[in-house]
Amino acid sequence: MRSCLTRWQCICRSLCPLLAAPVVWLLRLVWPPKFAFRAERLDGSALRPPAGALRVLHASDLHLSQGRLAVRRLRRVVEAAHERGADLAVLTGDFELPISVPRRVEVMGLLSELCSLMPTYACLGNHDYKIDQQDLLRDLRQCGVVVLVNEAVTVTINGQELRLVGVGDFWKSDLAPEKCLSLKEDDNAWAVPTLLLVHNPDAILMYLQKFAWTVAFSGHAHGGQLRVPFTNWYPLAPIRHNYLARPGLHEIAPGQTLCESAGVGNFLGIRINSQGDAIFLSIDEPKQ
Q: How far is CA 19 from CA 4, 30, 221, in A?
A: 22, 17, 26
What pLDDT band is residue 266 in, cutting at 50, 70 and 90? confident
pLDDT in tens, 198-247: 999 999 999 999 999 999 999 999 999 889 999 999 999 999 999 999 99
Whether 21 has a pLDDT exceeding 80, the answer reads no
**What is the Cα–Cα distance from 81 to 114, expressed in whole angstroms?**
7
Whether 23 has a pLDDT exceeding 60, the answer reads no
What pLDDT band is residue 103 in, cutting at 50, 70 and 90? very high
Q: How distant is the alpha carbon of residue 13 from its chain centre? A: 32
Amino acid at 19: L
Domains of the chain, residue spans: 37-284
User: In 183-275, where do the E strands start and end?
Assistant: 194-197, 215-218, 248-253, 256-260
| Degrees, nearest 5: CA angle 69-142-170 | 70
CATH 3.60.21.10 fits domain 37-284: yes
172, 126 contact by CB (below 8 A): yes
pTM of the full predicted structure? Answer: 0.90
pLDDT in tens, 183-208: 999 999 999 999 999 999 999 999 99
User: In the chain, where do the E strands start and end?
Assistant: 35-43, 54-59, 88-92, 120-123, 146-147, 151-157, 160-166, 194-197, 215-218, 248-253, 256-260, 276-284
pLDDT in tens, 53-99: 999 999 999 999 988 889 999 999 999 999 999 999 999 999 999 99
